[in-house]
Amino acid sequence: MNSPAHRLYAALRHVPCDNDAAALRPGLTHGDYTSPTRLALEGERIFRRSWVCVGHDANIPAAGDYLVEAILNHSVVAVRGDNGSINAFHNVCRHRGHTVAEGRGNARRLTCPYHAWTYDHDGSLFHAPHTNGVADVEKGQLGLRPVRLERVVGALFVNLDPDAPSFDECHPGLRAELERWAPSPDTMALAYESPVRHTANWKVSVENFSECYHCGPVHKYLTDNIIDPDSYDVSAAGLVQRHVVGGRDNSMTQRLWHIWPNTAMGLYPLPGVGMVWCIRHMYPRSVDESTYQYRWYAAPGQSTEAIREYAEHHANTTGAEDAAIVSGAQVGMRSDPDATNVLICNPSHGVGSEHVIAYFHDLVRTAIATR
Ligand code: FES
Ligand SMILES: [Fe+2]
């Protein structure tokens, strides 16, 4: 098989991460964050062929629940059927191309608002008005176009390349590693979600997640109350970053995984609640806007109310601080697009190191170079 996703993951597999580097490394140029042409290329070479998380089982728990997510220009709808299975489709009517669903909700069938073509949860065309007796209408051929979907610890990953290698082929061993730490997906409930608008390129949002170098200057509440930045340890291998951080409450350890290209998930220490599973999506919207979507999930015995209360506080402190700082970085890079970022690779792999950003940049460069 030689599909675009095969070529991408075959190339990325050979990119090393030097977790013990001691060096200043050149990063991407500012223009790589500000050029619409570059974003279009990332759409083709990264987002149309990588596994991208659009939600979790617990976002659509009941039959007929659906959610829509945009992967750049590609709208995808994931819907749960009566038998509990979840399928994903291009959110595009087979008649004349209107989207068939918006946001999220529950529907017995998905009905296109334009001329009321109606689709079952498995994507098949159920009804198209005024087509009786029209000889050429082959309803079996006019279902919603499927999108590859895989569930990994309840997270819903889609790939826009219909011939993509499986998630497990792209990330050997990762599913088992996550299963060790994640609560059982069918016991989880969505407690809170807070989409934070970043007026910054999606890579700035990913990179801001990827280091805690900024935690001291930017996140006073976080570092005083939640995590101990001196305990920070970050490393990467095989398209995955792993962040392990001691909590200020030293019975709790934060563990987060960032999975190429734009999904992070893991256990976050919430005071008074315990370790809470969260997923963070970093979706590109335009060259200088991204959505940093936090989703927090309650495991059995955890109070959704307590999680919601803390998550709102988090959104108003750490989340808002990050939104402001990434916006400032975008303004600066836009004003001098020919300059190049510099990355500190500190062999402590702790709070002062940006070596996993250097790795991310190598992945991005490799992806862009892979046709
Ligand atoms: S475009 Fe959907 S029914 Fe016409
Ligand atoms: Fe931050």
Instruction: Report the distance separating Cα 189 and Cα 166, nearest Å.
Output: 26
Domain end residue (candidates: 105, 139, 163):
163
Instruction: Report the distance separating Cα 78 and Cα 67, nearest Å.
Output: 5
Our answer on whether the CB atom of 108 is closer than 6 Å to any ligand 1 atom is no
Q: Which atom of ligand 1 is nearest to the CA of 98?
A: 1
Instruction: Report the distance separating Cα 236 and Cα 292, nearest Å.
Output: 21
Q: How much distance in Å is there from the Cα of 101 to the middle of ligand 1?
A: 12
Note whether 302 and 200 are same-domain residues: yes
Q: How much distance in Å is there from the Cα of 325 to the middle of ligand 2?
A: 8
Note whether 215 and 78 are same-domain residues: no
Residue nearest to atom 3 of ligand 1 (CA): 115
In this structure, what CATH number is given to the domain that contains residue 353? 3.90.380.10
Note whether 154 and 187 are same-domain residues: no
- Contact 71/283 with Cβ under 8 angstroms? yes
Report percent pLDDT > 90 for the chain. Answer: 91
Note whether 310 and 231 are same-domain residues: yes
Note whether 72 and 42 are same-domain residues: no
Note whether 206 and 317 are same-domain residues: yes
Note whether 249 and 109 are same-domain residues: no
In a domain, 66, yes or no: yes
Q: Please tell me the predicted confidence (pLDDT) of residue 247.
A: 86
Q: Which residues surround ligand 2, an ion (CB under 5 A)?
A: 322
Q: What is the pLDDT of residues 155-199, one digit of tens each?
A: 999 999 999 999 999 999 999 999 999 999 999 999 999 999 999
In this structure, what CATH number is given to the domain that contains residue 127? 2.102.10.10
Q: How much distance in Å is there from the Cα of 118 to the middle of ligand 1?
A: 9
Mean pLDDT of 139-164: 96
In a domain, 348, yes or no: yes
Q: What is the dihedral of CA 177, 180, 181, 186, to 10 degrees?
A: 110
Length of the chain in terms of residues written: 371
Q: Which ligand is nearest to the CA of 324?
A: 2
pLDDT at 132 over 90: no
Total domain count, the chain: 2
In a domain, 140, yes or no: yes
Q: Which atom of ligand 1 is nearest to the CA of 96?
A: 1
Our answer on whether the CB atom of 127 is closer than 6 Å to any ligand 1 atom is no
Q: Which atom of ligand 1 is nearest to the CA of 112?
A: 2
Range of the domain at 69: 52-163
Q: How much distance in Å is there from the Cα of 158 to the middle of ligand 2?
A: 27
Q: What is the pLDDT of residues 305-346, one digit of tens each?
A: 999 999 999 999 999 999 999 999 999 999 999 999 999 999
**At 133, is the pLDDT very low, low, confident or very high (cuts 50, 70, 90)?**
confident
Q: Please tell me the predicted confidence (pLDDT) of residue 125.
A: 95
Q: Nearest Cα to 311, choosing from 279, 344, 334?
A: 279
In a domain, 169, yes or no: no
In a domain, 171, yes or no: no
Domain end residue (candidates: 163, 187, 219):
163
Our answer on whether the CB atom of 117 is closer than 6 Å to any ligand 1 atom is yes
Q: Please tell me the predicted confidence (pLDDT) of residue 271.
A: 80
In a domain, 21, yes or no: yes
Our answer on whether the CB atom of 128 is closer than 6 Å to any ligand 1 atom is no
pLDDT at 239 over 80: yes
In a domain, 289, yes or no: yes
Q: Please tell me the predicted confidence (pLDDT) of residue 104.
A: 96
Choosing from 117, 118, 126 the residue with most ligand 1 atoms within 8 A of its CB, the one to mutate for a pocket test is 117
Domain end residue (candidates: 163, 195, 230):
163
In a domain, 276, yes or no: yes
Choosing from 114, 125, 137, 144 the residue with most ligand 1 atoms within 8 A of its CB, the one to mutate for a pocket test is 114
Note whether 206 and 181 are same-domain residues: yes
Our answer on whether the CB atom of 96 is closer than 6 Å to any ligand 1 atom is yes
Note whether 205 and 187 are same-domain residues: yes
Report percent pLDDT > 70 for the chain. Answer: 100
Note whether 101 and 224 are same-domain residues: no
Q: Which atom of ligand 1 is nearest to the CA of 128?
A: 3
Note whether 123 and 138 are same-domain residues: yes
Q: How much distance in Å is there from the Cα of 4 to the middle of ligand 1?
A: 30
Note whether 250 and 104 are same-domain residues: no
pLDDT at 122 over 90: yes
